[in-house]
């Protein structure tokens, strides 16, 4: 019988939560999940519903390995020497897995509360991947005209809440996002997948043969030796997402419409929607003081964040830096973190 | 010939610049003056235009004596064990001065740029105080309907830019402030005075005999011994301003209409008006980053203050705390600093 694995992708640097997130403590290591857990720890807990901890792989940046290991005790934590997007990360981690074994891919920075529905849906996905030579992806029923996600267009129905994928799309503009959401034929692309190692590598070989051949035969050894071996291989690899390299081109993609809730917490406003609010609609996290504020998000982590007389604002104080912006601008935080990085370099 | 003295009042805790100002570094010790000098240092430099450094007295809180001495080398720095407002502070410092000597009183937290006009006006004030038994006060031509200052109503003219004072008034409401400013008969009460020691104590004795008798005979000794002596006397004294205790009641008050500029920098917005602005009207001080901001005040002192997409806001990061508020609310900062203090105690 095949053995199921889970690969957690924890390589992101997540600048959208600056100054709370920093290169050395990116989004997946922040206590953004319910109960004040880190997103990575919450993802690990969900992965434990799917397999044993020894078969959970975490792929992260070399310098974040220790921090990730603390959040995922008993898991195998692998380090990338440089970031090359999701296709090389998934292909490299797949070297740990026997060719006929299936594995799930879970980004480390998603918020999912309904763990029972999550486990049931992945059980279905594993069963299908074990049986058929398909690439299973999860689509999320669109609950708003989001412009920050890619979308999946549903094709022919193959089972209850399961469809062929007619088309992968990039992030749409607002008009198109509204049309797609209204049509009911489009789902958000969650970036979560289940497939057999061999099926994945065959699909990769068809579209990106150089990438597939560089990683398919990689010898595993221990996590330390393996991470060191990646130092030689990774810098020369193409930086490309698994959606673009494989899923948009493969003919055998099946989507399961998720029965569980999902959010990628892509911004302060997305995170704040899930947090407890005070009577005036403010989210106060850590050392935060609101005087006469409404619908504000105040975060003080290693510093006091105080606001007075504000509406619909974000004020974050962390690690000796502060950001203030309107909640509706929280998608644009990267502009500030880039400016801040520029200053440090200057 | 009498010897002129200058008393600098540096006892305030100045919470309006929180979190930049703290009890251990109040407003007068912040680099709010032009050229990045502290307000106290700038006041000391002005005092040096009026007399020798050995005849400059600085009255401050006991725990701020060292910091004040660094800003005022060669001055005599005295410490109050507790704050009792301006009347006791002035009366105590006056114990250092011979009865017929005149002294000027300068608050440590005012902004004045035209030092030549300042010196010339104080020369006139000293001459008048040396000649007549009068209490000389400085009025500032009102340039806006300010509600944060007390006002002086002009009486009979006694010389060029010199008048009897018809009336001292408390801070007015906006309507009255506008009326007074338009009338041209009212001036802002600057809180700067010149008088002979004996004339001051005689006036104090007429209105507050207990206060006068407690301090008039105090033996000076050294600054250290004197400050220690105040420990016994000060706690029992009435807390009262010199305006209320003496000037509002005395019949012999003369005002000089100042020829120099003046501001008490009572808020972030008042300070920002005098600072250099970037092309979009922002004031950036220290470690500050503005992305797409207009007319904002960003201060980073021991921390980065970053703002994005904001208009007419204050964002201050200092000493591990951050404040964000609208510029028009900067008069209300005390509400936040009090809330912050409450938290620390809790």
Tens-binned pLDDT, residue by residue, of chain A (346 aa)? 579 999 999 998 778 899 999 888 999 999 999 888 999 999 999 999 999 999 999 999 999 999 999 999 999 999 999 999 999 999 999 988 888 899 999 999 899 999 999 999 999 999 999 999 999 999 999 888 888 888 999 999 999 999 999 999 888 999 999 999 899 899 999 999 999 999 999 999 999 999 999 999 887 778 888 888 899 899 999 999 999 999 999 999 999 999 999 998 888 988 998 899 999 999 999 999 999 999 999 999 988 999 999 999 999 999 889 999 999 998 888 889 888 877 654 3
Residue A325 touches chain B, beta carbons under 8 Å: yes
The answer to ipTM > 0.90 is no
Set of chain B residues whose Cβ sits within 8 Å of the Cβ of A335: 291-292, 308
Helices (H), chain A: 39-47, 65-71, 86-93, 115-131, 174-183, 197-207, 209-216, 223-233, 242, 268-273, 333-345
> Could you give the CA distance from residue A294 to residue A272 in angstroms, rounded to a whole number?
13
Q: What is residue B146's three-state secondary structure?
A: coil
Per the document, the length of chain B is 346
C-beta atoms of B336 and A289 within 8 A? yes
| Inter-residue contact A324 to B311 (CB < 8 Å) | no
pTM for the predicted model, two decimal places? 0.84
Q: Which pLDDT score, from 0 to 100, does residue B129 have?
A: 97
> Could you give the CA distance from residue A216 to residue B123 in angstroms, rounded to a whole number?
90
Residues facing A314 on adjacent strands: A297, A325
Residue A342 touches chain B, beta carbons under 8 Å: no
Q: Which pLDDT score, from 0 to 100, does residue A255 have?
A: 96
C-beta atoms of A339 and B289 within 8 A? yes
Measured on CA atoms in the order B164, B170, B176, B182, is the torsion positive or negative?
positive
Q: Which pLDDT score, from 0 to 100, does residue A113 have?
A: 92
| Inter-residue contact B89 to B11 (CB < 8 Å) | yes
The pair phi, psi for residue A259, each rounded to 5°, is: -90, -5
Closest C-alpha among A313, A287, A327, A292 to residue B336: A292
Nearest chain B residue to A18 by CA: give it: B306
Facing residue for A322 by CB, picked from B322, B333, B343: B322
CATH number of this structure's domain A5-257: 3.90.550.10
> Could you give the CA distance from residue B69 to residue B5 in angstroms, rounded to a whole number?
17
- Return the beta strands (E) in chain B as ranges: 5-10, 56-61, 76-80, 102-107, 135-141, 151-159, 162-169, 186-196, 253-257, 283-291, 297-308, 313-318, 321-326
| Inter-residue contact A325 to A332 (CB < 8 Å) | yes
Residue-averaged pLDDT of chain A:
92
Set of chain A residues whose Cβ sits within 8 Å of the Cβ of B287: 343
C-beta atoms of A343 and B289 within 8 A? yes
Element (H, E) at A8: strand A5-10
In b/e form, how buried is each residue of A65-93, taking b as 16+ CB within 10 angstroms? bebbbebbeebbbbbbbeebbbbbbbbbb
Residue A335 touches chain B, beta carbons under 8 Å: yes
**DSSP code string of B159-186:** ETTEEEEEEEE----HHHHHHHHHHS-E
Residue B324 touches chain A, beta carbons under 8 Å: yes
| Residues with pLDDT less than 50, chain B | 345-346
Q: How many CA atoms lie within 13 A of A200 on its CB side?
A: 32
> Could you give the CA distance from residue B264 to residue B222 in angstroms, rounded to a whole number?
32
Set of chain A residues whose Cβ sits within 8 Å of the Cβ of B306: 19, 321-324, 336, 339-340
> Could you give the CA distance from residue B116 to residue B114 in angstroms, rounded to a whole number?
6
Instruction: For residue range A264-298, list pLDDT tens digits in order.
Output: 888 898 899 889 999 999 999 999 999 999 999 99
| Inter-residue contact B14 to B27 (CB < 8 Å) | yes
Nearest chain B residue to A299 by CA: give it: B322
Residue B24 touches chain A, beta carbons under 8 Å: no
Q: Which pLDDT score, from 0 to 100, does residue B304 have?
A: 93
> Could you give the CA distance from residue B228 to residue B221 in angstroms, rounded to a whole number?
10
Instruction: For residue range B149-197, list pLDDT tens digits in order.
Output: 889 999 999 999 999 999 998 889 999 999 998 998 999 999 999 999 9
C-beta atoms of A329 and B308 within 8 A? yes
Q: Which pLDDT score, from 0 to 100, does residue A96 have?
A: 86
- Tokens at residue B315, please? 């964002």
Q: Choose, out of A22, A282, A296, A306, the residue to mutate when testing the contact with B (most B CBs < 10 Å).
A: A306
Q: Choose, out of A322, A331, A332, A346, the residue to mutate when testing the contact with B (most B CBs < 10 Å).
A: A322
What would the 3-class secondary structure string for A117-178 be?
Answer: HHHHHHHHHHHHHHHCCCEEEEEEECCCCCCCCCEEEEEEEEECCEEEEEEEECCCCHHHHH
> Could you give the CA distance from residue B319 to residue B340 in angstroms, rounded to a whole number?
13
> Could you give the CA distance from residue B29 to residue B270 in angstroms, rounded to a whole number?
17
Longest distance between any two alpha carbons in chain A, whole Å? 63
Domain ranges of chain A: 5-257, 268-345
Element (H, E) at A324: strand A321-326
Set of chain A residues whose Cβ sits within 8 Å of the Cβ of B303: 303, 317, 320-322
């Amino acid at each position: 019988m095949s053995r199921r694995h889970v690969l957690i992708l924890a390589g992101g640097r997540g600048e959208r939560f600056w100054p709370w997130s920093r290169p050395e403590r990116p989004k997946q290591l922040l206590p953004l999940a319910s109960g004040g857990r880190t997103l990575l720890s919450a993802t690990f807990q969900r992965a434990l519903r799917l397999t044993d901890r020894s078969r959970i792989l975490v792929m992260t940046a070399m310098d974040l390995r220790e921090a990730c290991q603390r959040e995922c005790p008993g898991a195998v934590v692998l380090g990338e020497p440089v970031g090359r997007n999701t296709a090389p990360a998934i292909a490299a981690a797949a070297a740990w897995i026997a060719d006929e074994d299936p594995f799930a891919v879970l980004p480390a920075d998603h918020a999912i509360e309904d763990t029972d529905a999550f486990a049931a849906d992945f059980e279905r996905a594993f069963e299908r991947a074990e049986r058929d030579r398909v690439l299973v992806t999860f689509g999320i029923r669109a609950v708003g005209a989001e412009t920050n996600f890619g979308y999946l267009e549903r094709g022919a129905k193959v089972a209850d809440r399961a469809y062929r994928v007619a088309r992968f799309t990039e992030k749409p503009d607002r008009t198109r996002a509204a049309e797609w959401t209204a049509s009911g034929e489009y789902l958000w692309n969650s970036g979560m997948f289940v497939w057999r190692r061999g099926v994945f590598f065959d699909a990769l070989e068809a579209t990106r043969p150089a990438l597939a051949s560089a990683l398919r035969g990689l010898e595993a050894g221990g996590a330390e030796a393996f991470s060191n071996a990646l130092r030689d291989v990774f810098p020369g690899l193409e930086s490309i997402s698994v959606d673009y390299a494989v899923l948009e081109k493969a003919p055998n993609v099946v989507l399961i419409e998720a029965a569980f809730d999902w959010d990628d917490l892509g911004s302060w406003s997305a995170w704040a929607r899930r947090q407890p609010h005070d009577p005036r609609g403010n989210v106060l996290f850590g050392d935060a003081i609101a005087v006469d504020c409404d619908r504000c998000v105040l975060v003080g982590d290693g510093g006091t964040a105080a606001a007075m007389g504000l509406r619909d604002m974000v004020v974050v104080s962390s690690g000796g830096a502060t950001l203030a912006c309107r909640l509706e601008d929280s998608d644009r935080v990267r502009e500030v973190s880039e400016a801040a990085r520029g200053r440090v370099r200057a």
